[in-house]
Structure 1
Amino acid sequence: MQELKYLSAYSDQTRAQVSRLIEQNKLGEVLRQRYSGMHGIRTDRALYDYVQDLKGEFLRNADPINKVAFDSKIHVINHALGLHTSISRVQGSKLKAKHEIRVASMFKEVPLEFLRMIAVHELAHVKEKQHDKAFYKLCTYMEPNYHQYEFDLRLYLTELDLTGQRPW
């Protein structure tokens, strides 16, 4: 069985199924059947509005998000698809935190479900810093299909690595 670096945490059985799809040249086809095509969010402003809508729906009482942007410097190679940063500054006698979310530019050309998964993941970091049970519970609260979208995103990254082409 070939090395599937994006699926290393999954079971041998799951990796074997994915390997069979790859051998049959059907991985891209499976992804095309599950997801209709690319979303229309192309600008930082549109991404900001999208993330703010999610925050407004699920995390109304959380700290405000000051900036949301696509970032061409974030790469899968660095094991990151998005980043949440919190910058603390002293203003008078108070400590103010600014939250920023950056999403890898590659997410401009994926199905909306993948972008939503990344946005939900980074928003969850506003409340939960660690990737623990509470973090993933919050992710699935905001997006019930979170784990399926994450898995399919890993399939997409595998297909992109192998063929160099996007399925959509």
Structure 2
Amino acid sequence: MNYLMGYPDTLQAQARELVTQNRLGAMLQKKYPSTHDIRTDKALYGYVINLKNDFLRNADALSKVAYDSKLQVIAHALGTHTTVSRVQGSKLKSKREIRVASLFKEVPIEFLRMITVHELAHLKEKGHDKAFYQLCTYMEPQYHQFELDLRLYLTHVDAGGSTPWPAAQAAL
């Protein structure tokens, strides 16, 4: 239950029971029946830029958005945001990048939206504080539900369950 550590004991107990009964994957598949079709870095870039333009027009520009197969979801992060600064002549140039774990190529659009909203929010808010989560829920009103369901999915996979979306199996 590593992914549910901050949640109430009652929720963790419910999740544990679903894992034990091998019903968690089926529950998630029923709630989210299909995966999205944003499979390439180019498509991901377009998707993220559209979200950014809808909600964060004045935020720093993004120079790169890509899926990253080196992000180990189970051990580390779901996505990253970085700022790379370089000196060019007498000016300091900054580039902002967002990388999303390759796992998100083959999941429901709600999970991809949750992680991209999360990373976009870091353009304005560095830490995970109240203002950060308010920005996340501004961009995606169901942010917290999608985050919980994603954590349930990761718990299911971590417990040895197969992915409810067959195409996603290859990404793990």
1:35-93 deviation digits (Å, cap 9, x = unpaired): 12111011000000000000010001111000000000001243201000001122333
Q: Aligned residues, how many?
A: 165
What is the rounded CA distance, in whole Å, between the counterparts of 2:90 and 2:125 in structure 1? 26
5+ residue gaps, structure 2: 166-172
Amino acid of the residue matched to residue 166 of structure 1? T
Q: Secondary structure at the match of 1:121?
A: helix
Paired residue for 1:136, among 98, 110, 133?
A: 133
1:111 — aligned with what? 108
Residue 122 of structure 1 corresponds to 119
Aligned match of 1:69: 66
SS of 2:34 mapped into structure 1: coil
Asked whether 1:19 is paired with 2:16, we answer yes
- Percent identity over the alignment is 66
- CA offset digits 1:113-149 (Å, max 9, x no partner): 0000010011111111111111111111100101100
Task: State the 4+ residue runs in structure 1 displaced beyond 4 angstroms.
Answer: none
The CA deviation at 1:164 is: 4.2
Output the amino acid matched with 1:15.
Q
Aligned residue runs from structure 1 range 57-96, under 5 A: 57-96=54-93
1:151 aligns with 2:148: yes
2:122 aligned counterpart, secondary structure: helix
Structure 1 residue identity aligned to 2:92 = L
Describe how 1:35-50 pairs up with structure 2 within 5 A.
35-50=32-47
| Structure 2 equivalent of residue 7 of structure 1 | 4
Structure 1 gaps, min length 5: none
- What per-residue deviation string (whole Å, max 9, x for no partner) do you get for residues 3-23 of structure 1? x11111111111111112122
Secondary structure class of the residue paired with 2:123: helix
* TM-score, normalising length: structure 1: 0.94
What is the alpha-carbon distance in structure 1 between the residues aligned to residue 74 and residue 158 of structure 2?
Answer: 11
1:30 aligns with 2:62: no
Structure 1 residue 94: Cα displacement: 2.8
Q: Partner residue of 2:51?
A: 54
Which moves more between the two structures, 8-17 or 156-165? 156-165
Structure 1 residue matching 2:99: 3-state secondary structure: strand
Q: Name the TM-score, length of structure 2 as normaliser.
A: 0.92
What amino acid sits opposite 1:44 in the alignment?
A: D
